[in-house]
A and B are shown apart, each in its own frame.
Chain A
């Protein structure tokens, strides 16, 4: 999705202004004009300046504020974005409760089944095998503490 430079520039300038405001209370080092706030303030000032320059350029172009271009439809792209967000959010929120061995195969099955237009049998098999491989590599080999969730009570 193309957003007009006028808007992008204003967002960047706003980000810069917030950075300057949030840096104003950082104290300087003893007997120094510089401190923890120096760099964030400089970065913020540049963001304001360059953001406004970008806005000016966008305003001169006078294009649409939002423009969709490309072979894939906007709705398809938005659905894919939401699917990835939902998958990551689902993993983060559900793994502590249900555990990796349940959440990962579920997430993979849903994503693969949906993306492959309903080949659910293949999706389930791939999801289980892939989750087992990831578990073996990260949890067993590299000792990453992937959550077991409720399975912890079942196993131990």
Chain B
């Protein structure tokens, strides 16, 4: 109880509340602009959070991402252009509701379901995370090695249609994480004589390069070639939302839980959660034929799931230090920069901070209602911000942000190089998610493996001696088998289609 009281005191400080409000407004702006993602909002926030205490830093990211996902629904419903990938699953449905004169109701459903889904996710996170952490206290380097490897493997498996490209993307991320002084042997690797690289490639230019610069490079050529029509006016956003919520209460609860579980899977974020929830809702619906015609049932399910997934991703991130998605990969990077290594110990050594994070989640989700309403009302103005002005400003922010962590211009070059690399990879269907997860998890995998080998005098089979380690190891090997089978099958199908054509 004393910890909860202390946590409340931490959260309800004026600076934390101001950070939550400011970050929410920032997330609102980024999310509502088509093409700019919640991950980009997070990457752009990191340079500023670098100078904050851990709680305001995490609060800023939690608030900005939750708001960005909700704001991403607005251009989807108004213009048929999803603001973030997490809104893509139900953009058509929301837009068609608007065509039926129910645009206010569609946006109201999006907003309220997002809040409810987010709160379900927080409840599951707050209940299960300490239990899992208690269990994880018994883990040794063997379990952590397999867990991190399992995280990487799952990220590859769920990263997209092509696990082969996902695996290559992961390997590039691992290679990036190998630069600098090896934490176990002290050996200097791949620094090319540059002393600034001795401590490795800083996470900040990596994040900004992969998620902000690459996105800018993709979007900038479209300026002047894509014109958004003026959005229709939104009237009575909460009209009829209550009755719809009651009608589909089972779907909301199911999607909230499902979204949280999917979010907890490494590599599977809010976008995958909303697609799966939408598909499941259609499968279980009594009126599946109405889906795709402006029917609110799928909208209710998917809107609840994507915000729940945001909370779910924090379960493995906080408990094991294994990111559930790209956003929690950034959170782990931020915590590490502040000297806090996420893991079960955090729940005992920093219990107040963990409780404060849960409270921030609740607060950020509740704040979605008034700010979401503000975003819906002000959508016309947000969508009127010209990209020709916005993108150069984002570029300047990227440059200064990359420089800010180490006051090093080398980081700005790295940001540019990684941005170009990510641009070319994404253009060729390589997913970026596994790469950033690998940058974070690479040192975890390597250091735990080396610790286990030092303990066991190089005996590899010791990694399977403890029951939980053996189970996790078996699972990781199974996932890799699935990746190999999937890659070979895809190669086989390609060959068959090439032969037939």
Contact = CB atoms under 8 A, between A and B. Distances in A.
B175 A57 contact: no
Interface in B357-403: 386-389, 391-393, 395-397, 399-400, 403
Given A36-B185, A40-B189, A108-B393, A47 B217 contact: no
Given A27-B187, A144-B404, A84 B216 contact: yes
B1 interface: no
Nearest to B423: A81
Interface in A31-87: 31-36, 38-40, 43, 46-47, 50-51, 53-54, 56-57, 60-62, 71-72, 76-77, 79-81, 83-85, 87
A72 B412 contact: no
A111 B175 contact: no
Given A60-B498, A84-B216, A85-B416, A36 B399 contact: no
Contacts of B495: 60
A93 B413 CA distance: 11
Contact of A107 (B48, B167, B396, B490): B396
B229 to A, nearest CB: 17
Interface string A99-119: 000001001100110011100
Contacts of A138: 47, 400, 404
A61 B429 CA distance: 15
Contact of B450 (A16, A34, A91, A142): A34
Contact of B399 (A46, A79, A88): A88
Contact of A36 (B189, B395, B396, B445): B189
Given A12-B168, A27-B187, A34-B458, A71 B400 contact: no
Contact of B217 (A23, A31, A61, A84): A84
B217 A36 contact: no
A144 to B, nearest CB: 5
Helix, strand, loop or mixed for chain A's interface? helix
Contacts of A137: 48
Interface string B21-52: 00000000000000000000000000110010
A144 B171 contact: no
Interface in B4-23: none
Helix, strand, loop or mixed for chain B's interface? helix
Interface residues of A, number: 71
A53 B224 CA distance: 40
B485 interface: no
Nearest to A79: B221
Contacts of A104: 396
Interface in B57-88: none
A39 B187 contact: no
A115 B399 CA distance: 19
6 contacts: A2-B427, A40-B190, A115-B223, A117-B224, A134-B400, A146-B400
Given A33-B458, A34-B450, A40-B175, 17 more contacts: A8-B428, A12-B171, A39-B174, A39-B446, A43-B171, A47-B168, A50-B168, A60-B491, A62-B498, A71-B222, A88-B415, A111-B395, A112-B392, A116-B389, A126-B389, A144-B400, A144-B404
Q: Which 7 A-B pairs have the closest CB atoms?
A: A36-B187, A115-B388, A111-B392, A116-B388, A36-B182, A80-B220, A77-B221
Interface of A: 1-3, 5, 8, 12, 15-16, 19, 22-23, 26-27, 29, 31-36, 38-40, 43, 46-47, 50-51, 53-54, 56-57, 60-62, 71-72, 76-77, 79-81, 83-85, 87-89, 91-92, 95-96, 104, 107-108, 111-112, 115-117, 122, 126, 130-131, 134, 137-138, 142, 144-146
Interface of B: 47-48, 51, 164-165, 167-168, 171-172, 174-175, 178, 182, 184-185, 187, 189-190, 213, 216-217, 220-226, 386-389, 391-393, 395-397, 399-400, 403-404, 407, 409, 412-413, 415-416, 419-420, 423-424, 427-428, 442, 445-446, 449-450, 453-454, 457-458, 487, 490-491, 494-495, 498
